Amino acid sequence: MSYQLTYTTDLRWAQSALANLGILLNDHAILEKKAAVVAIDMMKYFPKSPKTLCRLSKLAREEMRHFELVTQFVEQNSYDQIQMKPVSYMRNLFSLVDSANRTQALRDRLLIASIIEARAHERFDCLIPLLNGKLAAFYTKLSHAEKRHQDIYFTLCLELVGESKTLDRLSELLDEERRILLATQDRFGFFSCV
């Protein structure tokens, strides 16, 4: 079982990305590191599930490997290393976590992590046809990984609260994700609107 995002990235974002590849790559590296932290943080919610702990540990290692690969790509292709702060997209999404009880909070964290991975997958797929050479091949590999990560978090949520509760909350969060993404226009970034 899978789902679709409710907003498709505007081609203007892809054009901004092409015009700002150095910024895109630096922001992407930061986000891979943050994705690893999210996976590691999720592990505390599954202390009695070795199978889930292993899945999340593997996911965190893969995210860190992506961080290393993006950083190497930046260096090998003579892009400047830029110290930057990511746009507020992820922070704003995680602020939607319903902390009324532990199960609801975990459900929301899993769904938000899945949505972020889905958006990354969608952004890569938007960019790949416009790129050539090494970056297109690199992003094609990463796109497949992002889809797999989306599915891991989504499946964990389904296992936690069942299909009905997952899909009801997913619908709400997807609407909020669209709103947050459209409002993230202060500057260009991997998760900016344009």
Global pTM?
A: 0.96
pLDDT of residue 1: 82
pLDDT of residue 179: 96
The predicted-structure confidence for 65-96, as pLDDT tens digits, reads as follows: 999 999 999 999 888 888 887 789 999 999 99
Say whether pLDDT at 109 is over 90: yes
7, part of any domain? no
pLDDT of residue 187: 87
The predicted-structure confidence for 16-47, as pLDDT tens digits, reads as follows: 999 999 999 999 999 999 999 999 999 999 99
111, part of any domain? yes
5, part of any domain? no
What CATH number does residue 116 fall under?
Answer: 1.20.1260.10
104, part of any domain? yes
102, part of any domain? yes
Contact 92, 111 (CB under 8 A): no
Q: Compute the C-alpha angle 39/40/44, nearest 5°.
A: 110
56, part of any domain? yes
Four-point Cα dihedral 141, 143, 149, 155, nearest 10: -120
71, part of any domain? yes
Identify residue 29 by its one-letter amino acid code: A
Total of domains in the chain: 1
Alpha-carbon distance 53 to 16, whole Å? 38
- Domain containing 101 equals 17-183
